Amino acid sequence: MSCGLILAAVLMLSDPSVAEAAAQPPVAADAPVSVAHEPLFADLVTRSGSLKAIVDGWIASGEADGQGFFAGAAFTGFKAQTVELAERDMQGHLVLKDRGTDNDLKCILRGISEDMPKKVAALEAAPNPAERKIALEELAYLLNDNVEVITSPPRPAA
């Protein structure tokens, strides 16, 4: 086998993302640092992920369409946890604000904190299974967004 064929085979089998990552410029020393490892923010990720799993389960099972669902222990406990999560998201917003951080995460956490009770209220007010499913999906999206905005790498200011 000639060297050219070996090189072609290696290039075809190589992972293009490795070459793409190598072509990226080095990270600047003053680049923003992720807060995902800090206890408050790691807790937000854990709580949001757990609550999203519950909502995903309700979507899959149709449990939210059952008689007395909103008065049951599962939902009332879930609702209390969303209130606590919203308070902690606001706490995260305030921590970043106190640090003088001027980035999207600070604003997004505040928005999630304000939207969480609205999404839960929309779920409770949904008059039929179709609208309840939409409300559940929107709540799942918000909970997932809460995880992703914290765990995604920060970007330097443009």
Q: pLDDT tens digits for 87-131?
A: 999 999 999 999 887 678 999 999 999 999 999 999 999 999 999
Question: Residue 139's pLDDT is what?
Answer: 98
Query: Residue 105 has what DSSP assignment?
Result: H
Amino acid (one-letter) located at 71: A
Tokens (6 digits) for 60: 């899959």
Question: Residue 101's pLDDT is what?
Answer: 79
Question: Residue 17's pLDDT is what?
Answer: 45
Residue % of the chain over a pLDDT of 90: 70
10-33: pLDDT as tens digits = 555 554 544 454 454 554 545 557
Tokens (6 digits) for 52: 């999203």
Give pTM, 2 decimals: 0.77
- Residue 4, pLDDT > 60, answer no
68-86: pLDDT as tens digits = 999 999 999 999 999 999 9
CB 113 within 8 A of CB 87: yes
Domain coordinates of the chain in residue numbers? Answer: 39-151
Element (H, E) at 19: helix 16-22
| Gap between the Cα atoms of 134 and 137, Å rounded | 5
